[in-house]
Amino acid sequence: MKEEMTLLILKPDCVAKSLTGEVLRRFEQSGFGIRALKMTRLSPDLLNEHYAHLRDKSFFPEIIAFMTSGPVVLVALAGEDVVARVRDLVGPTDSRKAAKGTIRGDYGVDVMVNVVHASDSKENAEIELRRFFAPEEIQEPGSPVEKSNR
Ligand code: IDP
Ligand code: MG
């Protein structure tokens, strides 16, 4: 059976504050596996597509400015029920309302500057993974050691 995967974007604030390792550690420690990882800068075109559901909001230009303000880290993360469980680990959109112990509650600033994006449904996860990764960039589960023991 195909494993469930979600798309994470460690946002410019996360990278700028050197929180990349800490955020990845939380996901790995929760039992999820990294299947793809790359640092990049997002184009306004790609962000227009990714945040199309917010295009009519007055703050839309600010989101594009924030998300293009520095490099981000894109992650394909896999595991059982990963989409829903990662949203729980991340916390609600507004960091000020997020509980301590969640990533946004611990490291986010406000409703916009909130450390990490995570797909909100399995359907959107598949669309978003295709948006940011070529199929060959996503690895199969299992280390070479595990594989050689099969
Ligand atoms: P989510 O990231 O929790 O799924 P969405 O509603 O999909 O939240 O919004 C996408 C991103 O747009 C948020 O993570 C945040 O960076 C930004 N955003 C959402 N709502 C606001 C707002 O009211 N003001 C400023 N930025 C916002
Ligand atoms: Mg969203």
Ligand 1 atom at minimal distance to the Cα of residue 67: 16
Ligand 1 atom at minimal distance to the Cα of residue 66: 16
Binding-site residues, ligand 1, Cβ < 6 A: 51, 54, 59, 63, 93, 111-112, 114, 117, 120
Structure-block tokens of residue 135: 């199929």
Residue 24 CA to ligand 1 center (angstroms) comes to 21
List the one residue out of 31, 39, 4, 14 whose CA is nearest residue 129: 4
Please state the domain count of the chain: 1
Q: CA-to-CA distance for 73 and 75, rounded, in angstroms?
A: 6
State pTM to two decimals: 0.95
| DSSP characters over 79-145 | STTHHHHHHHHH--S-GGGSPBTBHHHHH--SSS--SEEE-SSHHHHHHHHHHH--GGGSPPSS-HH
Domain range for 104 is 4-148
Q: Tell me: the pLDDT tens digits for 44-86? A: 999 999 999 999 999 999 999 999 999 999 999 999 999 999 9
Residue 143 CA to ligand 2 center (angstroms) comes to 31
Instruction: Tell whether the model's pLDDT for residue 137 goes beyond 70.
Output: yes
CATH of residue 37's domain is 3.30.70.141
Span 12-31, mean pLDDT?
98
pLDDT of residue 146: 47
Q: Which residue has the higher pLDDT, 150 or 79?
A: 79
142 pLDDT band (50/70/90 cuts)? confident
- The angle subtended at Cα 23 by Cα 142 and Cα 135, nearest 5°, is 45
Q: Which residue has the higher pLDDT, 132 or 2?
A: 132
First to last CA, the chain: 18
Span 99-127, mean pLDDT?
98
Beta bridge pairs of residue 77: 6, 34
